[in-house]
């Protein structure tokens, strides 16, 4: 075990307030695909052309068919060792926040509680008229478009291209970043804003910054410790050593 990994584990053990940011690299290790290059219907449609408010207005049936397909694929994936270790990290701590850019719900399935989903969740529908939100199950009536109690057509509760992130999620993420004493960024390229600014915001507010990623990112040079490798290998080691 490297000196940096032992030091990082010690910081986790000693920390009073931890904030974690996770990205697609964590879910990829569970086999969650990006849905580009898939066979069948989706070869004829770019995801960017389906994940917009305009696409939903043009063809809500097609958009929902795509999201139902994604739900079935994601439901077949299991939380990996990184998801499970992060849930373990949260247990027994009064101040812990997990911010994720992922929409697959794997952190909650692994047992995490304080999860801020910046980009939404595949397994929720939201009414664009009254804001009503409901949970969805993979494969449940995949031909039907969900409706709210007032009969309005609902949309996937996902942040689409050209849309702003949910105000409350952004506020919570910002507050967690500026108030923690240790910030971990795991499996994210650190290029998508506003999430990419959170690690540096935490560091500038006095927190120690740990990065876990297989490749260098724009924040690697700013991290107090940068651990290179897959999250499913490194994060469990951090918990075991902490």
Strand 120-126 vs strand 155-158: parallel, antiparallel, or unpaired?
A: antiparallel
Look at the chain and report how many structural domains it folds into: 2
Residue 235 has pLDDT above 80, yes or no: yes
- Which CATH number does the domain housing residue 189 bear? 3.40.50.1220
Residues 201 and 232 in one domain: yes
Residue-range definition of the domain harbouring residue 65 = 40-76+128-158
Q: Picking from 45-54, 70-79, 111-120, which range would have the lowest pLDDT averaged per residue?
A: 45-54
> Rg of the chain over CA atoms, in angstroms?
19
Q: What is the pLDDT of residue 44?
A: 61
Residues 70 and 141 in one domain: yes
Residue 37 has pLDDT above 50, yes or no: no
Residue 67 has pLDDT above 80, yes or no: yes
| Catalytic residue, candidates 45, 107, 119, 204 | 119
Domain boundary among the residues 158, 180, 208 is at: 158
More confident residue, 116 or 143: 116
Residues 65 and 175 in one domain: no
Tell if the pTM clears 0.85, that is, is over it: yes
Residue 228 has pLDDT above 50, yes or no: yes
Encode pLDDT of 117-142 as tens digits. Answer: 999 999 999 999 999 999 988 766 66
Q: Residue 18: which pLDDT band, with cuts at 50, 70 and 90? A: very high
Establish whether 119 is a catalytic residue: yes
CA distance 170 to 117: 9
Counting residues of the chain whose pLDDT is more than 90, the rounded percentage is 69
- Which CATH number does the domain housing residue 144 bear? 3.30.1600.10
- Contact at 8 Å (CB) between 25 and 214? yes
How many CB atoms are closer than 10 A to CB 238?
Answer: 25
Residue 14 has pLDDT above 60, yes or no: yes
Residues 134 and 199 in one domain: no
Residues 115 and 145 in one domain: no
Residues 66 and 175 in one domain: no
Helix spans in the chain (H)? 3-14, 24-28, 47-50, 53-58, 60-75, 81-90, 106-110, 167-179, 198-204, 231-241
């Amino acid at each position: 075990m490297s000196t940096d990994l032992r030091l990082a584990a010690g910081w986790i053990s000693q920390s009073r307030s931890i904030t974690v940011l996770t990205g697609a690299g964590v879910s990829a290790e569970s086999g969650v695909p990006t849905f580009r290059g898939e066979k069948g219907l989706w070869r004829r449609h770019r995801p960017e052309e389906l994940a917009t408010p305009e696409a939903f207005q043009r063809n809500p049936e097609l958009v929902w068919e795509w999201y139902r397909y994604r739900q079935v694929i994601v439901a077949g994936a299991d939380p990996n060792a990184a998801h499970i270790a992060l849930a373990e990290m949260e247990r027994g701590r009064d101040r812990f926040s997990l911010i994720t850019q992922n929409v697959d719900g794997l952190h909650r399935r692994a047992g995490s509680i304080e999860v801020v989903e910046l980009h939404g969740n595949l397994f929720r529908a939201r009414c664009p008229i009254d804001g009503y939100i409901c949970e969805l199950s993979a494969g449940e009536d995949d031909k039907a478009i969900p409706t709210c109690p007032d009969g309005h057509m609902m949309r996937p509760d996902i942040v689409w291209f050209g849309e702003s992130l949910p105000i409350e999620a952004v506020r919570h993420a910002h507050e967690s970043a500026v108030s923690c004493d240790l910030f971990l960024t795991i499996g994210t390229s650190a290029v998508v804003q506003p999430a990419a600014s959170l690690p540096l915001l935490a560091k500038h507010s006095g927190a120690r910054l740990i990065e876990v990623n297989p490749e260098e990112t724009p924040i690697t040079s700013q991290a107090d410790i940068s651990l290179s490798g897959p999250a499913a290998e490194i994060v469990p080691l951090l918990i075991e050593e902490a």
